[in-house]
Structure 1
Amino acid sequence: MDRREFLLALDETLELDPGTLTGDETLESLESWDSLAVISFIALVDETMGVVVEGEKLAQAKTVADLLALAGVSVPA
């Protein structure tokens, strides 16, 4: 799954319109980033990327780009 596909999946997970997220957003600015979204993100990453996200690292995430890094999604050059 590439960056664009993952962002679209994250849009869906957070119940945002497709194409809303770019990676530059802060999690604090997303009204839909709550405890349910955290669980959904963990499940999304596990199912699509086969990566187990550590709770401590997720708690340190401040931006959508941080989430991408935790998921192992490469950032385009």
Structure 2
Amino acid sequence: MDRKEFLLALDEMLELDAGTLTGAEELDSIDAWDSLAVISFIALVDEKLGHVVEGERLVKAKTVDDLLGLAGIAVTA
């Protein structure tokens, strides 16, 4: 899964229009980023990429690019 595909998966998970997220967004500015979204993100990474995101690292994420980094996806386009 590449950056674009993962961003589209995040759009879908957060019920945003496809192509909404670019990576630079602050998580605090995304209305749909809540505790359910956190669990969904962890499940998405596990299902699509086969690895576990550590909770201690996830709570430090501030941007969508941070999430991409936690998922092991390059943050540069």
TM-score, normalised via structure 1 length: 0.96
Asked whether the equivalents of residues 45 and 53 of structure 2 are also in contact (C-alpha less than 8 Å), the reply is yes
Q: After superposition, where does 1:1-77 map in structure 2 within 5 Å?
A: 1-76=1-76
Query: Which secondary structure does the structure 1 equivalent of 2:59 belong to?
Result: helix
For residues 4-27 of structure 1, what are the alpha-carbon distances to aligned partners after superposition, in whole Å with 9 as ceiling and x for unaligned?
000000000001000000000000
Q: Segments of 4+ in structure 1 off by > 6 A?
A: none
- Residues matched between the structures, number: 77
- TM-superposed CA distance for 1:75, in Å, is 2.7
Q: Which runs of 5+ in 1 are unaligned?
A: none
Amino-acid identity (%)? 74
Amino acid aligned to 1:28: D
Q: Which runs of 5+ in 2 are unaligned?
A: none
TM-score, normalised via structure 2 length: 0.96
For residues 1-52 of structure 1, what are the alpha-carbon distances to aligned partners after superposition, in whole Å with 9 as ceiling and x for unaligned?
0000000000000010000000000000000000000000000000001120
